[in-house]
Structure 1
């Protein structure tokens, strides 16, 4: 079958964003730098001087999914928290190669959604690279369940998401949302949906060292009788944000995924478990790339060594733009 393969992309110029980390509570400056090499998305902490400060955005580097998706290096001495909202935006815009520099431990939370990050990417623009994207086509259904929660993926001609949530709170309750991912569908329907929590959870989170930077400016907080922020951006903003999180987590596959993902009562734990299940079943998918025949792959090649040698990246000599 003849398929049209897309070229990989990076940003057209460097851009920066400053803000607080949702869980760390620390102010962080994030700089997105376009790269000319086929390297993937690499996070690099500029506040650390040793060579272990670089982490490849790959599911094998996920170290924790407690209320956010967090990446760590193989040595266990460097962590980047809350990468999912940025990765979702990069995923939607088809950004494959990028250096994300942070002078702290966490991606800034902005307003709790990907909307400010979309503006950042749109301001930078994108450019094609002389490499083709790889696509992972799902050939057989794969499912993971945990009690009454489940996530499954089945064959489809595009990346389609169907998400269901069911909260025992009358202001959230049962919500469902479905879409086929395109840049436009993400920007118009998903990017603005904010992260959320119930008011009674806030004390627990902070006692456990989380949500130190949380506020009504960067999260929807739901009390017993009302939304404390004064309103929602969508009536179903809660489930739309779950779709946003899922898209960020799926980007950790490192390839363009083609299949229908269905989730019931999901979260980062289920999202990353699905990725593990897919790679544990090489008969369930094929990887296709321009100029090559379809081929199965049992697991992604480890690219941590490449991430640990950030000085080898090829950069475009482009001007800076700080927002």
Structure 2
């Protein structure tokens, strides 16, 4: 299977969920083996340099995955666009923005799926590299845990736990094996969510300044406030899977393995990635010269249009 980039540049504008700032975002095609990179066009000098994404650049995980470089450059809330890039197996792209945060759009990854579809995806000449998990790796923090186990494909299983009546209406656990299920159909539409009682705390820390009912599911003491309700009966856990897929794709390559999590979040997801990469006994890099040799889960990387 070959590496992929965009057929052409494409732009969109939106608002940052946490910063509340207006953001102009442009995705550009990028050369083979250049990876996923970001550039803040509003910054000059070294701060305006291209930032090639790696897991050790995620240095702020308060309610999102945020790049913070040694020069103090921030690119926040990257998990949703990363999730969309993962869905289409985009290896090489330059993401430019003129603000410290990726726009939230509607709170899901679907707008970024549409953006990628409009730009088009093209194969390049170099072989795509996959990160294959070859031994179990687990991280535990208090009552949370995440783990990778070897698996000939890509499967994600997550369980959430919230003491609130809204969450008792659907199963707290969702599993998706991409050998038989579509990211676009099952995951992409799930929106980020939050609680009304947390708004004042978040805004005191300059977070959630751009949040509203158009870009998040908002929950009060008893119910969902959004007039249209939920997009899936179990939208909350599906969104956590959307986030996890984006967090894991920060490694820049598709992962062959099974990911499981209980009450996972951005910080522990990133800690798991770092733990895998810290020991070469945990993984191997693989390529597939013939698409028929791919694990079934990655046949879904063929270009599927969103309805």
- Is the shorter-chain TM-score for this pair beyond 0.5, marking a shared fold? yes
**What is the 5 A alignment of 1:276-315?**
276-289=274-287
Pairing 1:189–2:186 present: yes
Runs of at least 5 residues in structure 1 that lack an aligned partner in the other structure: 1-5, 292-323
Mapped contact 1:92–1:181 kept (Cα < 8 A):
no
Change (3 A) 1:64 1:281: same
Cα separation, 2, equivalents of 1:152 and 1:194: 24
Higher mean C-alpha displacement, 251-260 vs 52-61: 52-61
**Which residue of 2 is the match for residue 69 of structure 1?**
65
**Which residue of 2 is the match for residue 256 of structure 1?**
254
Mapped contact 2:164–2:222 kept (Cα < 8 A):
no
2:166 alignment partner, SS class: coil
**Per-residue deviation, 1:13:** 1.1
Mapped contact 2:47–2:73 kept (Cα < 8 A):
yes
Mapped contact 2:136–2:148 kept (Cα < 8 A):
yes
Pairing 1:135–2:130 present: yes
**Per-residue deviation, 1:290:** 5.4
Change (3 A) 1:255 1:121: same
**What is the 5 A alignment of 1:201-240?**
201-230=198-227, 231-240=229-238
Cα separation, 1, equivalents of 2:280 and 2:207: 37
2:160 alignment partner, SS class: strand
Pairing 1:271–2:269 present: yes
Cα separation, 1, equivalents of 2:69 and 2:263: 30
**Per-residue deviation, 1:37:** 3.5
- For residue 156 of structure 1, the aligned residue among 151, 154, 159 is 151
Deviations 1:175-202 (A, max 9, x none): 1111123797111010100000111111
**Per-residue deviation, 1:14:** 1.1
2:261 alignment partner, SS class: strand
TM-score (norm 2): 0.90
**Which residue of 2 is the match for residue 92 of structure 1?**
87
**Per-residue deviation, 1:281:** 2.6
Cα separation, 1, equivalents of 2:138 and 2:35: 27
TM-score (norm 1): 0.85
How many residues in Structure 1 have an aligned counterpart in Structure 2?
285
Cα separation, 2, equivalents of 1:268 and 1:167: 17
2:243 alignment partner, SS class: helix
Cα separation, 1, equivalents of 2:278 and 2:5: 30
Cα separation, 1, equivalents of 2:108 and 2:42: 25
**Which residue of 1 is the match for residue 108 of structure 2?**
113
Cα separation, 1, equivalents of 2:245 and 2:288: 24
Runs of at least 5 residues in structure 2 that lack an aligned partner in the other structure: 290-307
Change (3 A) 1:184 1:154: closer
1:105 alignment partner, SS class: coil
**Which residue of 1 is the match for residue 164 of structure 2?**
169
Mapped contact 2:3–2:32 kept (Cα < 8 A):
no
- For residue 55 of structure 1, the aligned residue among 47, 51, 54 is 51
**Per-residue deviation, 1:238:** 0.2
**Which residue of 1 is the match for residue 292 of structure 2?**
none
Cα separation, 1, equivalents of 2:192 and 2:277: 29
**Per-residue deviation, 1:49:** 1.4
1:68 alignment partner, SS class: coil
Mapped contact 1:160–1:179 kept (Cα < 8 A):
yes
1:171 alignment partner, SS class: helix
